[in-house]
A and B are shown apart, each in its own frame.
Chain A
Amino acid sequence: MNLILFIFIVLLGFTSYYFGRKKAYTIQSTKKRLTALPQFYGYYLAIWCAIPAFIIFSLWAIFEPTIVKLLILSDYSNQGYLDDELNLIYEKTKALSRGQFTGEITPFIDASAEKYLSLRSIAQSSKVVIVLSAIIASVAYAYKRISSNSRTREPVEKFLNAVLFTASLAAILTTVGIVFSLIFQTIDFFKVIPLFDFVFGTHWYPAKAFVRDSSEALDPTMYSDTFGAVPIFAGTFFIAFIAMCVAIPIGLMSGIYLAEYASAKVRQYAKPLIEILAGIPTVVYGFFAALTVGPFLKELGTSMGLEVSAESALAAGGVMGIMIIPFISSLSDDVITSVPQSLRDGSYAMGATKSETIKRVIFPAALPGIVGSILLGVSRAIGETMIVVMASGLAANLTLNPLESTSTITAQIVVILIGDQAFGDPKTQAAFALGMSLFLVTLCLNIVALRVVKKYREKYE
């Protein structure tokens, strides 16, 4: 019903656009000069259609449930029910009206459900009537008002401005919301687990928290030595480091090749091919690492007399590096290509060879962008989840041996949140604490990246 109404309103919007434009053409045909193009008259009317519809819909969404609830529960007033009981009755009523009620049906609730349904249908039809009449009234009012010298362009521009502003506001508010939910859960977590234990503890064993029976009282001492995040932070940075060791040299060199050496034809085919790497889902990289690279490294290691775990940091980091190559290669290619040709000419004219020109002129000029692309790669490496979960194991070992398995922040969040979770449990909140620390790390990285880029900008521009 709502969908049909919505489509109808959209059609009304188009119609008002059409009428607005038509009126403008009519005015124009009397040789009067318009203050704006005819389209603006159309948009103006369409806005007069959209705004009342939007306002009424929003008000309805806010007030309808409250009013319906009040009306239903008014039957039960003065009968000595507590607030909680009233809420329960209301929920039962709603469930019954949807046919999802499984308990015992009392005549009272049955009557309420009937009333609920009839109220809803009254509300629905009055909404249709009110919305449509409001739209028609406002469009008609605006239609009568527009004339050759009415201002239509400014309101249309303002409306667009407002729409765009709302869109960006939505993005910002979502971010703020996520950060706040992280913060509150994190604070709750640190009420149970001391911050010091989390930041400096070297033993991460959240499985211990699984054992607790939820009916038992929360005893903080049982969590000592459970949530020490050092091993997983170390693992995160270690795997990211391995990944960057693979991605930076290969990515940069292929970027330089594409930008400076490759002929137009090679570039035309090679660049999209490299970018395909970026389109492979990480889960595919994950099983590539777990099923191909990991066992291969294990065999290779065994043949050389080394002990290699099948799930090793090296396998995960190496494959992650391959995943990041296209980011660095493609971005640095763009940055290098955007270095002005005049600089290359200047260097060649001095008798510099291609490699000298790249090393001494182009690379320094492109450095801010290249550093930016590398830092982007680092934040991807730190935030990457799937490959680590599949290829590096879930045990948080504190080790710097790339041949052993280790774990990362993201992988631990997965471990914690898979399966049943209880809200308010330190185990679940640990995921928020980890998410918060991950967020802080990437935030710092981004700030550093911006600083670095800005510093070089000042130096080179």
Chain B
Amino acid sequence: MIKIKAKDVDVFYGKKQALFNISLDIEENQVTALIGPSGCGKSTFLRCLNRMNDVIDICSVKGEILINDFNINDKSCDVVRLREKIGMVFQKPNPFPKTLYENVSYGPTIHGMAQSKQEMDEIVETSLKKAALWEEVKDRLHEPGTGLSGGQQQRLCIARAISVRPEVILMDEPCSALDPIATAQIEELIDELKKEHTIIIVTHSMAQAARVSQNTGFFHLGQLIEHGSTDKIFKNPDNKKTQDYITGRFG
């Protein structure tokens, strides 16, 4: 089933065009990887999906992005509701300078999702369990989140993102600041998360894309060169550029 449908998306930073005519369908409850060399626009595309580009003054987005058949670029779209449904995990772990508990309860608090302290405790516990962090931190929930290791911080950010039960989780190179062991943990987690969430991950690591994703899109110079099932893209790509990139001949 198609969860997100992007149609002819153009993105401009001031006068400079960063994305050209991107049309891409994203399958529900699957992992879609976006690959491509640095500066090719894959992160920009990802940030279109939860309208994070609004934060950048000079950035403008054209075209339609349908999520559950609703155009999020429409004026009637409420960004707060949208971002509740579409969570995001960033390249560098960015826990808030608050306690672990406050980090995870942040989203549920601002969206009024818990009626009582007990409910909030439950949300925090489930989110941390889903992010495979509960066992490590259950005794120090009231210590600062910034005191964790890099991999733990990133899992805390994942727990924070899933605390509001988003339908989609966007991950912008979530493992690029982590060591191989932490990376493996996050990848395992992604596999688990796709049962309940649709996941879109931007990655520089071809191996990672091959390991975690079912679908892959290849971006180059602001264009979506090719997309399809990960198997096909990695084994039998249609486009020469895709082949070159995947085999490491450029990029």
Q: How many residues of B contact A (CB 8 A)?
A: 29
- Given A350-B161, A351-B83, A460-B144: A342 touches B107 (CB 8 Å cut-off): no
A343-B97, A348-B55 as given contacts; A353 in contact with B83, CB under 8 Å: no
Complexed CA–CA distance, A340 and B87 (Å): 20
Chain A residues, Cβ within 8 Å of B164:
350-351
Question: In angstroms, how far is the closest chain A Cβ from the Cβ of B155?
Answer: 14
Contacts of B106 on A, CB cut-off 8 Å?
A: 347, 350, 352, 360-361
The answer to whether the Cβ of A365 comes within 8 Å of any Cβ in the partner chain is yes
Expressed in whole angstroms, the minimum distance between the Cβ of A458 and any Cβ of chain B is 9
Q: Which residue of B lies closest to A360 (CB)?
A: B106
Chain A residues positioned under 8 Å from B95 (CB to CB):
346
Query: A360-374 CB contact bits vs B (8 Å, 1 = yes)?
Result: 110011000000000
Q: Does B19 contact A (CB under 8 A)?
A: no
In the complex, whether B149 has a CB less than 8 A from a CB of chain A is: no
Name the distance in Å between A193's Cβ and chain B's nearest Cβ.
50
Report yes or no: A343 in contact with B96, Cβ–Cβ below 8 A.
Answer: yes
B107 lies within 8 A of A351 (CB): yes
Instruction: Confirm or deny: A459 has a beta carbon within 8 angstroms of a beta carbon on chain B.
Output: yes
Taking a contact as CB atoms closer than 8 A, the residue among B80, B82, B90, B98 that contacts A353 in the complex is B80
Partner among A350, A364, A461 whose Cβ is within 8 Å of the Cβ of B83: A350
- CB-contact partner of A364 in B57, B98, B107, under 8 A: B98
CB of A356 within 8 Å of the partner chain: yes
Q: In the complex the two chains form, is B146's CB within 8 Å of A349's CB? A: no
Do A460 and B146 have beta carbons less than 8 Å apart?
A: yes
Q: A356-B110, A360-B106 are in contact. Are A349 and B96 (CB under 8 A)?
A: no
Known pairs A351-B80, A351-B81, A460-B146; A346 contacts B94 (CB<8 A): yes
Question: Which of A264, A351, A353, A460 sits near B97, CB closer than 8 Å?
Answer: A460
Q: How far is the CB of A85 from chain B (nearest CB, A)?
A: 75
A344 at the B interface (CB under 8 A)? yes
CB distance from A370 to the nearest CB of B (A): 13
A263 on interface, CB distance cutoff 8 Å: yes
Interface size class of chain A, counting residues whose CB lies under 8 Å from the partner chain: 20 to 34
**Complex contact A351–B57 (CB within 8 A):** no
- A351–B111 contact, CB under 8 A? yes
B220 to chain A, nearest CB (A): 25
**Mask: chain A, 200-243; 1 = CB below 8 Å from B; 0 = not:** 00000000000000000000000000000000000000000000
Cβ of A154 under 8 Å from chain B: no
**A365–B96 touching, CB < 8 Å:** yes
> Using a CB-CB cutoff of 8 Å, which residues 313-364 of chain A contact chain B?
340, 342-353, 356, 360-361, 364
B96→A351 contact, CB < 8 A: no
Q: Report which residue of B50, B83, B87, B161 has the largest number of chain A beta carbons within 10 angstroms of its beta carbon.
A: B83
Task: With both chains docked as a complex, state the minimum distance between the C-beta of B158 and any C-beta of chain A, in angstroms.
Answer: 12
Listed A/B pairs (16) with beta-carbon separation below 8 Å = A344-B55, A346-B95, A346-B157, A346-B160, A347-B106, A348-B83, A349-B52, A349-B90, A350-B83, A350-B87, A350-B107, A350-B160, A351-B84, A353-B110, A364-B97, A460-B144
Interface residues of A, Cβ cutoff 8 Å to B = 263-264, 340, 342-353, 356, 360-361, 364-365, 459-461
Complex A-B, nearest 5 residue pairs according to Cβ-Cβ distance, in ascending order:
A351-B83, A460-B97, A349-B88, A342-B94, A351-B84
Interface residues of B (CB under 8 A from A): 50, 52, 55, 57, 79-84, 87-88, 90, 92, 94-98, 106-107, 110-111, 144, 146, 157, 160-161, 164
- Can you add 15 more A-B contacts, CB < 8 Å, to A345-B88, A351-B110? A342-B90, A345-B55, A346-B94, A347-B106, A349-B50, A349-B90, A350-B83, A351-B81, A351-B164, A356-B110, A364-B98, A459-B97, A459-B144, A460-B144, A461-B97
